[in-house]
C-alpha cells in the first residue's frame, strides 16, 4: 500500500502574498483529497490561516527569527513527502533540500533549479501571481481565482469588533496610505486632498488599519484636519489582529489603498476596493474580486518597472496621479 502523501506548502512572509495562496490551497486539496497538507506561514498570518479549511495544519514559521538550521530541522522532523515552494527565494529551496524532502516543486528562479525535483517557469508578466502559483499543479481544477474567505471569520470575532469600534456610520471608507515598499505609496499630500473630499460626503466616516508602528503616521495625518473632521476619522492601528482587521474590512463600504496587502484583504472580504498602482503591474497583482478599480498612469513608458527603479526614486507614475482621478474611481462605489 502506497504511503499517504504528506505535503508542505511554503509561503511565509507578507500578508498579501499569503492571501494569494488561497486558490492554490483549494486546488491542491481538490487534486489530493487524501493528502495531509501543512502550510508554513508567517506568524502575523498564522491566526488567519489556521482557519483555512483546505489544509490540515498551519505552522507559524519565521526562519529569520528562529534561525536557519533550527528551521531546517523543524521541517525535517515532519517527514514530508512533497514540498510546494510558492516562495521564489534560493534560501527556501535550499531549506527543503537540506530537510531531505524527496519531491520539491517550485519556480525556476534565483538560480535554484538544481535544488528542485520539478522546476516550473515563472511567468508574472503574462498572468496574475495567483495563477502563477497554480502552474505548480498540472491538471489543477479549472475555475475562477476566487479569494473570498468571509466564512473564515468566527462569529465571536465579528461580535468583538462591532462592540469595540464605532462601525455604525451609514458610509464607511477605509483609507490605507502605506505599503511594505515605499516605492508603491501615492504621495501623502494627495491622500490628504482625497480625504478632505471624502469627509465632505454626507454621513461618511474614515478608518485606518495597520500595525502599532503605523499609528503615529495616521495620528499626524488626522492632526492636519479640523476637530469636526477628526471626529469622523478612526485610527485602529495596533488594535486588531489580522483576523479582526479582516472583520473590520468586511464592514467597510469601500477600501482605498496603495498596492499593498490591504487590496487583497478587501478582495478576500468582497469589499469594493480602489487600488492605486505605480511601479507594479496590475495584471500580476490586481485584487481577485469582481468589485475593484485600478488607478494608474496608463501612458508612462517606464511603467510597470516592477520595482526596477529608473526614475531616481521620483516616482512620477504615482505623483502624477491626481486626487480627482482617484475620487472618480471612488464614486462608482459610494452612495453620496
Low-confidence residues of the chain: pLDDT under 50: none
Burial 159-190 (b: 16+ CB within 10 A, else e): ebbeeebebebebbbbbbbbbeeebbbbeeeb
pLDDT value at residue 292: 98
pLDDT value at residue 2: 66
pLDDT value at residue 140: 87
- The Cα–Cα gap between 323 and 88 comes to 36
Which three three-digit cell numbers place residue 212?
502599532
Burial 230-253 (b: 16+ CB within 10 A, else e): bebbbbbbebbebbbbbbbbbbbb
What is the crossing angle of helices 188-199 and 215-223, to 10°? Answer: 60
pLDDT value at residue 335: 86
Given a contact cutoff of 8 angstroms between Cβ atoms, the answer to whether 287 and 267 are in contact is yes
Which three three-digit cell numbers place residue 269?
472580504
What domains are there in the chain, each with its CATH number?
Answer: 6-139 (3.40.50.2000), 160-331 (3.40.50.2000)
pLDDT value at residue 298: 83
The pLDDT mean for the chain works out to 95
Other C-beta atoms lying within 10 Å of the C-beta of residue 228: 8
pLDDT value at residue 1: 60
- The Cα–Cα gap between 43 and 33 comes to 27
Burial class (CB in 10 A: 0-12, 13-18, 19+), 110: middle
Going by C-alpha positions, the residue among 14, 1, 12 that lies closest to residue 261 is 14
Strand, helix or coil at 276?
strand
How far is CA 204 from each of CA 195, 233, 249, rounded to the nearest angstrom?
Answer: 11, 9, 15
pLDDT value at residue 55: 98
Which are the contacts of 174, defined by CB distance < 8 A and separation ≥ 6?
Answer: 206, 207, 208, 209, 248, 249, 252, 254, 255, 256, 257, 262, 266
Strand, helix or coil at 267?
helix
Strand, helix or coil at 227?
helix
**Judging by DSSP bridges, how do beta strands 118-120 and 103-107 pair with one another?**
parallel
Amino acid at each position: 500500500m502506497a504511503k499517504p502523501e504528506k505535503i508542505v506548502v511554503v509561503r511565509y512572509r507578507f500578508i498579501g502574498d499569503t492571501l494569494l495562496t488561497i486558490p492554490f490551497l483549494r486546488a491542491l486539496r481538490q487534486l489530493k483529497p487524501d493528502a495531509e497538507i501543512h502550510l508554513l506561514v508567517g506568524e502575523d498570518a498564522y491566526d488567519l490561516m489556521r482557519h483555512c479549511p483546505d489544509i490540515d495544519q498551519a505552522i507559524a514559521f519565521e526562519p529569520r527569527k528562529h534561525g536557519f538550521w533550527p528551521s531546517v530541522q523543524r521541517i525535517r522532523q515532519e517527514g514530508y513527502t512533497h514540498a510546494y515552494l510558492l516562495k521564489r527565494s534560493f534560501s527556501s529551496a535550499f531549506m527543503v533540500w537540506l530537510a531531505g524532502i524527496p519531491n520539491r516543486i517550485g519556480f525556476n528562479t534565483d538560480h535554484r533549479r538544481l535544488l528542485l525535483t520539478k522546476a516550473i517557469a515563472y511567468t508574472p508578466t503574462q498572468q496574475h501571481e495567483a495563477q502563477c502559483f497554480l502552474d505548480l499543479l498540472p491538471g489543477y481544477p479549472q475555475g475562477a481565482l476566487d479569494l473570498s474567505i468571509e466564512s473564515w471569520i468566527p462569529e465571536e470575532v465579528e461580535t468583538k469588533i462591532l462592540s469595540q469600534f464605532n462601525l455604525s456610520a451609514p458610509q464607511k471608507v477605509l483609507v490605507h496610505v502605506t505599503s511594505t515598499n515605499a516605492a508603491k505609496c501615492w504621495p501623502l499630500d494627495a491622500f490628504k486632498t482625497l480625504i478632505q473630499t471624502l469627509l465632505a460626503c454626507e454621513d461618511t466616516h474614515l478608518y485606518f488599519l495597520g500595525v502599532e508602528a503605523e499609528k503615529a503616521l495616521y495620528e499626524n495625518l488626522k492632526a492636519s484636519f479640523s476637530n469636526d473632521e477628526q471626529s469622523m476619522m478612526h485610527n485602529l492601528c495596533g488594535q486588531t489582529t489580522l483576523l479582526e482587521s479582516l472583520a473590520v474590512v468586511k464592514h467597510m463600504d469601500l477600501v482605498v489603498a496603495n498596492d499593498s496587502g490591504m487590496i487583497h484583504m478587501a478582495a478576500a472580504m468582497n469589499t469594493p476596493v480602489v487600488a492605486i498602482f505605480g511601479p507594479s503591474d496590475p495584471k500580476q497583482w490586481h485584487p481577485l474580486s469582481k468589485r475593484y478599480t485600478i488607478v494608474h498612469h496608463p501612458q508612462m513608458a517606464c511603467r510597470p518597472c516592477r520595482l526596477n527603479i529608473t526614475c531616481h526614486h521620483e516616482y512620477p507614475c504615482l505623483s502624477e496621479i491626481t486626487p480627482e482621478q482617484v475620487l472618480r474611481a471612488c464614486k462608482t462605489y459610494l452612495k453620496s
